[in-house]
């Protein structure tokens, strides 16, 4: 018999107010670093969309905005998954500072790919901002320059983070609990 796993929402890890406050703090740090500089802020779709929108509303540096989407293909358990663009950026990055905004950095593989690709486009600098930094799961060294929250375990959803395209709409970040539905 095939084991069936059901998920349910667990405890709130970061509340809506905690997220709002942290977004303002990150925006202040970004504003300080990039004051007077040409900045392009790139949203990694889909997960970072909510975070990105709230973040750029607090930026005073008047950045250019763009969007990118990357996907990985191959065996889920393989460390050699191929990563490619499914939506590329449209702006020129040459001579500009670039800030990537991501929802969560776990293994770091997608971000390593994206950072390399954008640096090759002759950006002046490329930095990474992530709502959630799960450094414990890192497989490749990727530095999150502007981390929102750090977690060490668990699968989180909400505020753009999803499981099978669900739970993105939640205003807070919650743990996802897993239960074996075959157990009585």
Point out the catalytic residue in the list 76, 106, 133, 153.
106
Cα atoms in the 13 Å half-sphere on the side-chain side of 34 = 25
Is-catalytic flag, 106? Answer: yes
Residues annotated as catalytic (active site), given as ranges: 106
């Amino acid at each position: 018999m095939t084991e069936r796993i059901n998920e349910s929402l667990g405890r709130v890890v970061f509340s809506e107010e905690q997220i709002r406050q942290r977004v303002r703090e990150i925006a202040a740090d970004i504003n300080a670093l990039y004051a007077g500089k040409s900045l392009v802020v790139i949203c990694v779709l889909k997960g970072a969309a909510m975070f990105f929108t709230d973040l750029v509303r607090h930026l005073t540096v008047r950045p250019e905005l763009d969007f990118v989407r990357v996907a990985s293909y191959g065996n889920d358990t393989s460390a050699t998954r191929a990563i490619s663009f499914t939506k590329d950026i449209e702006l020129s990055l040459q001579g500009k500072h670039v800030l990537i905004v991501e929802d969560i950095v776990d293994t770091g593989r997608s971000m390593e790919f994206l950072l390399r690709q954008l640096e090759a486009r002759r950006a002046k600098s490329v930095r990474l901002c992530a709502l959630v930094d799960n450094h414990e799961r890192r497989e490749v060294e990727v530095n999150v320059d502007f981390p929102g929250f750090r977690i060490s375990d668990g699968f989180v959803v909400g505020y753009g983070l999803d499981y099978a395209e669900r739970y993105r709409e939640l205003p807070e970040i919650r743990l996802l609990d897993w239960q074996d539905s075959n157990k009585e």
